[in-house]
Amino acid sequence: MIKLKLWPATAKQVKVAFAIELMKWMEILLLECKVSTKGFCEALIIRNDLQPFQANHLKELIRKETVCEFRHSYYKLGNFNKLDDGTVCPACPKGSGTRFVAIDANFGPAEAIVERFFITDEEVSNFVNSYNDSTTGFKECNQFKAGDKVRSKSRTSKMDVTGVFGSVCRHELPVLFMNMQHGERLAYSVLLLDKLLNVPASKDQKLNVTYDIACVLFSHLKIRNQDDMLAKMQMKIPILHCYGHQASCQVEFNPRRTTGFGLTDGEGIERWSYLRCSARITKEMTPSHRVDLLTDALLHYAKRKERNIGKVLVQKHSKAVSILKNTEKEIGDKIRLINKVITEETIQEWKIEEKATLCSKAKPVKAMGRGLC
């Protein structure tokens, strides 16, 4: 049947088959345009003027495993000669070097995804339930609601899965995710970072992390004496979120003020809303079908980003060169206007003095009996 370009509707006693080209169109419309299988069937019924009994039979067959099996087989066929399974960013370092990831929660599609990208629900549940993240006193940054265990429990007590907590690399390809059974608790970020730091392939890598409440997470890890974890990474606040924090955090956790971050804005996870549109389709699926579809959606998105990665990197390099040139010119113009000898060392001293002044004025965090700036 495959040689005849037909895909069987059932594994045994095949009586109906679908044209493979039709199956490919259904997959593309599903992953790219978020057209549900039900919607696709309705379009076929209208297009071919099917009778009610034919329409019902078509819907019954489509709901079986044949569609999921086709997507799985078609993906394997298209990637059998590649060096990886589609989950590795081609531009991120593979050995030593520095890896950038942006982490955050997404309360859009509350579905379970496992296999290639996701930590199992059992492991997440065991860690979160046993981890003490009830540290209080994180009120220094305009009372951010993320990381608040009490609020997390009260607002999500009637939900089995509330959303997804995950990470993408600086090139916006998916890295690692987990389902959340609560609000955005600190335990989720701690587990995710622990996983990222202990991947065998990243043992010799440094990790640069951006997170909306990096200052809160940093304070929490310091209080918990997680110095080994902190020594392997730098944590900063994404550019746009940074200006919602108090002045001391804007200085200490600003990626623009940190050597090695360059023009990385850390907002990749905010732009990464591809899965959010899948909620409308997956909410009526069985758990296994939901897992299959969202896994395929992640792989499809990664492939789409990988296809354009060369062009994007060239554009970013050109932008970085232009910004560097303009910045050097502006700094030179300002120094000439001041008419005073100012060197790079002078500017670095100003930065240190600014940070020291702002941190000394910031409210100390009283958490678990200890104070932090």
> Could you tell me if residue 25 is inside a domain?
yes
pLDDT at 357 over 70: yes
Q: How far apart are CA 227 and CA 221, in angstroms?
A: 7
pLDDT at 229 over 50: yes
Q: How far apart are CA 64 and CA 60, in angstroms?
A: 7
Query: Residue 370: what pLDDT?
Result: 32
Q: State phi, psi for 95 to the nearest 5 degrees.
A: -110, -120
Q: Give me the mean pLDDT over the 337-344 stretch.
A: 76
Q: Give me the mean pLDDT over the 151-155 stretch.
A: 49
Residues 68 and 193 in one domain: no
Residues 166 and 253 in one domain: yes
> Do the beta carbons of residue 86 and residue 300 sit within 8 Å?
no
pLDDT tens track for 168-209: 898 988 888 887 877 778 999 999 999 998 877 667 788 999
> Could you tell me if residue 91 is inside a domain?
no
Q: Which of 190-204, 245-259, 354-368 has the highest mean pLDDT?
A: 245-259
> Do the beta carbons of residue 192 and residue 165 sit within 8 Å?
yes
Give every CB contact of residue 283 below 8 A, 6+ residues apart in sequence. 111
Residues 290 and 156 in one domain: yes
Residues 168 and 221 in one domain: yes
The CA-atom distances, in angstroms, between 27 and each of 69, 70, 85, 235, 342 are 12, 9, 19, 39, 61
Query: Residue 258: what pLDDT?
Result: 87
Q: Specify the amino acid at residue 214.
A: A
By DSSP bridging, strand 233-236 and strand 205-210 are parallel
Query: Residue 36: what pLDDT?
Result: 83
Residues 34 and 175 in one domain: no
Q: How far apart are CA 320 and CA 60, in angstroms?
A: 54
DSSP class of residue 81? Answer: T
> Could you tell me if residue 237 is inside a domain?
yes
Q: How many helices (H) and strands (E) does the chain have?
A: 16, 9
> Could you tell me if residue 319 is inside a domain?
no
Query: Residue 151: what pLDDT?
Result: 47
> Could you tell me if residue 317 is inside a domain?
no
> Could you tell me if residue 1 is inside a domain?
no
State the CB neighbour count (10 A cutoff) for residue 312: 13
Q: Give me the mean pLDDT over the 203-218 stretch.
A: 89
> Could you tell me if residue 72 is inside a domain?
yes
Residues 244 and 336 in one domain: no
Which range has the worst mean pLDDT, 25-34, 127-136, 249-258, 269-278? 269-278
pTM of the model: 0.74
Residues 182 and 218 in one domain: yes
Query: Residue 74: what pLDDT?
Result: 77
Q: Give me the mean pLDDT over the 208-226 stretch.
A: 91
Strand partners, 163: 180
> Could you tell me if residue 316 is inside a domain?
no
Query: Residue 319: what pLDDT?
Result: 94
Query: Per-residue DSSP letters for 103-134?
Result: EEEE-S------TTSBPPHHHHHHHHHH----
pLDDT at 355 over 70: yes
177: nearest Cα among 159, 160, 195: 195
Confidence of residue 160 (pLDDT cuts 50, 70, 90): low
Q: How far apart are CA 146 and CA 216, in angstroms?
A: 9
Query: Residue 362: what pLDDT?
Result: 58
Q: Which helix (H) or strand (E) holds 22?
A: helix 20-33
Which range has the worst mean pLDDT, 11-20, 65-74, 185-194, 345-354? 65-74
Query: Residue 143: what pLDDT?
Result: 53
Residues 161 and 33 in one domain: no
Residues 208 and 348 in one domain: no
> Which of the listed residues 51, 79, 107 is the one where a domain comes to its end?
79
Q: Give me the mean pLDDT over the 55-72 stretch.
A: 79
Residues 285 and 347 in one domain: no
pLDDT at 62 over 50: yes
* Percentage with pLDDT > 70 across the chain: 77
Q: Which residue has the higher pLDDT, 132 or 360?
A: 132
3-class state of residue 39 by DSSP:
helix
Q: Which of 68-77, 87-96, 226-235 has the highest mean pLDDT?
A: 226-235
The count of domains in the chain is 3
By DSSP bridging, strand 365-367 and strand 370-372 are antiparallel
Residues 249 and 292 in one domain: yes
Q: State phi, psi for 278 to the nearest 5 degrees.
A: -80, -15
Confidence of residue 272 (pLDDT cuts 50, 70, 90): low
Quote the domain boundaries for residue 184. Answer: 97-307
What is the residue-averaged pLDDT of the chain? 79
Query: Residue 109: what pLDDT?
Result: 44
Kindly provide the b/e burial profile for residues 216-247, where b requires at least 16 CB atoms within 10 angstroms of the residue's own CB.
Answer: bbbbbbebbeeeebeeebbbbbbbebbeebee
Residues 239 and 116 in one domain: yes
